[in-house]
Structure formats: structure tokens, C-alpha cells
Structure 1
Amino acid sequence: MQRWNNEIEEDEEEGYGRGGLESVPESPFEGTSGTVFLTGEDNVYVGVGKGDSSMEALLWALANLITSSSSSSPSTLLFLVHVFPETHFIPYPLGRLAKEQASQEQLEAFMSQEREKRRTLLNKFLRACSDSKVKVETVLVESDSVAKAIQDLISILNIKQLVLGIDKSNAKKAKSLKGNTVAEQILRSPAAETCEVKVICQGKVIEMEKPVTERTPFKPSIQLEPKKDDSNDPFGWICFSKPKASS
């Protein structure tokens, strides 16, 4: 199960898109930088996480793909994509407690702690974008599979430019797509047919071999709808969630 939840959550602005994203060619949201169009030929998406390779990927994108908002030409919008695991258990004095067994107070306290960790993690990427005077929004996706979540996002938002970082220890295998990193899984998937994926290692683009197997058209496993979570967070966060089944 995946939950798309760009939550750091929690955009303090009023107003957000309605309806499923698949039916909207360009999906506008209200964020800190005004109306945001999630889909667009010039938008750049960068996958970010805990590893140093994420910052290397972002810095490469800022230097090579992004037009500064201080420039006289139209600026490119940058999206930071972070996938975090679904919550199945919460810490408990005697071990772990299943999410369904936890009280509302216990669950809210744990989720608040996790959100604060994500804020701390993502602030360094936001600061890098701010220093470069680049418009930036952040998309958070709750999923137990990073690669699958990003593949779905490519299809749903019609992403055309994606930048991912990779560690030096994985770079050799990655060139021939013989490893199992997130970047390689995405490049081997049908989603890569419609998206230019740049893989960055230590500030340089890795030239990747093209898969030789025929790939079938990719369709996301779920439909998503936009969601806004209210908070006093100083940043704007675009939110996605899986529609709840009607009772």
C-alpha cells in the first residue's frame, strides 16, 4: 500500500487542487511560492534522502538544470521528492505496538516525532535551494518501496526530468544496470521511457547502459488525489494521499 502525502506536511496556505491527478494535465496547488504546476516540461524533480549522494544530486541539478529566479528569464520550478516508509508499528516500552492497537494519542505523538525528523532532514536541501534563489516545493510519499513510489509519481505527474544520486560504492554496477539501487530499478522500469533520468555520483553524471529488454507501458498501481494538511509549518508542502474507500 502506498500513501502519497507531501506533508512536511503541511501547507499553511489555503486552497489546493481537487480531484485525481491522472485526469488533470497540469495540477495547480497553492504553496508558499504561489500557484504551483506539478506537471510541466521544465519542472525538475530531485530525489532526496539521508545519504550524501542526495545532496550531490541536488547541487548538480541546481548548477545544470535550474534557472535562478533572479534571472530575467522564466525560472524553473524544482521539486524535492522524499519517500519515507509506511508506519506499521510504533515504539512501546515493551517493544513495538501495531499501529492499529495504538491509541490516538500514542499514534499522534509518534507521527509528530517522525514529521520533525523529516523537517530536520529536508531543511538542509531547502537551504541549498534558497541559497541558489530557486523556487522549490517538496513532495513526500509514504511507501515501503522507494523505487515503486517514484515510478508511480513519474507516471501520475508526467515527470520529464528526474535527478537521482548514487553512492560511489554502487556506481560501477549501476553503469550496466546490474545492481539494485533505486536509480537502477527506475531505469529498468517502463516509467523511464517517458522521463529523462540523470544519475549523479560525486557531482558527475553516470552514463548508464540502456536496458535491452522490451518494456510494457507503465501504469501506476493506485489513483491519487491531492490533500492538504493544516499546520503552522513555515514551508509549503504539496500533499497526496490514496483515496479512502467509500463505506
Structure 2
Amino acid sequence: MSLQGKVALITGGAKNLGAQIALELAPLGASLALHYNSPKTKEDAAKLQETFKKQFPNTKVAFYAADLTTEAAVNKLFQDVTKDFGQIDIVVNTIGMVLKKPITEISEAEYDKMFAINSKAAFFILKAGAANVKEGGKLITIVTSLLAAFTGYYTSYAGSKAPVEHFTRGVSKELAGKRISVNSIAPGPMDTPFFYPQESPEAVAYHKSNAMEGRLTDVKDIAPIVKFLCTEGQWITGQTIFANGGYTTR
């Protein structure tokens, strides 16, 4: 199914999973608005832009830098993308932050930051998507398979992702009349630089042992699911899809 004439906004789209999703959607004809947060990611954005020039020279791609933890910043991003591309048909929100600590060591500032990135930003991205995405569009948010498991030390991470399930279900009902599907995808622990800093080698081995093939989730496991939801998967809405190689379920 073609995405010719469609515009996809991918938050966190300059590297890791966001970049892989962009590379999945480009061959289908989608134009791509790729957001990144940190100035440190500017180099990754430049490398990805070169990749597009070589592999998909006819794909329109633009990059946007912004901290999306305020509604004003989210609205500005949507306004800028609409101005540059004329419309938005697909929004994929991949941004997130991990914190692995005992609850007794989590500061109020850390709590606020976790919820600002994982919950507040997701809420206002969905709000802006609801207001801006064209009829028949798609809203997709990346959450975590820890929503189907409970373990110590990830309390603030899983807790700050959990509200997104409720946001997703509610918004899917509100947008059903416009045929906009709204879903969350919950990967297992992913083999990206996002995962390793807080994990010991023993913890990494344990996570691997709980999934098929004895490995972590790869970004290439998740990006095709996003592609499916953006194409043939229109009838799926209001769901959290646990894509984790059997890591956990509920």
C-alpha cells in the first residue's frame, strides 16, 4: 500500500528506532518530518539526511530540533511541519527516557523529568495530532513491554509510560469518526544505546533469555509494525501491541 502524498511526523526520528521507521516509510512514498531533541543528535540527523540523499533522493525530508516537554513546543513543531509540508497524515512518537533506580533514590526532579518526557509530551503530541492529522490518519506512540510486567527499579519508567495506554484508548474513541487510528506499540528491551547505560551484563543476559532467539528486540522488529499500522492496519485502533519476542504478555 502506497503512502504517496502522505506526510509522516516522527518524533525522535533522527536515530535508533525513529530513524528505522523513517527508512521503512520512505520507500512507500511518504514525505518525512523528523524531530530530534538534543543538540548532540544533530550529527545523527546529518548522517541520516545523507542516507536519504543516496537511497531515497526523491523523498522530501526535513529535520526539526525541539524539547517537546511543553505544549507550546509541541504546537510549534506541528505548526512548522504543516507550514513546510502543507499537512500531517501520520504521527509516530518514539521519544522516551529510562531511569532504573530504587524508588527510595528517585528525586522529585527526576520524577518530574520522567513524567514530562514519557507522559506529558505524549499527551500533548496526541492532542496536537488529534487537532492536525487529516482524516484517515494514524497516531502511534512507542511505550514499553514493562506495562505487562512488574519489576523493581523501573517504577518511574513504567509508571510514566502507563498513562499513554489510557490516552491512546480515549483518543481512539474521540477520533473514530474521522477514521484516525490511534495505537501504542510496546517493544521489549531494545538493542540500542538507549538501553545499556543502566543495565549490568547479568541483567542484559537475563533480558535476552526471556525472548525468542535469546536476543533483545531490534529496531527492525518494530519498524515494520509501524509500517503495517500506517498501511493495511487501519482497522486496529485503541490498542497496545506488545511486540517483544515473547518477553512478556498479559
TM-score by length of 2: 0.30
Which protein shows a greater Rg? 1
Structure in which a larger fraction of residues adopt helix: 2
> What TM-score do you get using the length of structure 1 for normalisation?
0.30
Query: Normalized per residue, which structure has more strand?
Result: 1
Q: Which has the higher contact order (CA 8 A, sep 6+)?
A: 1
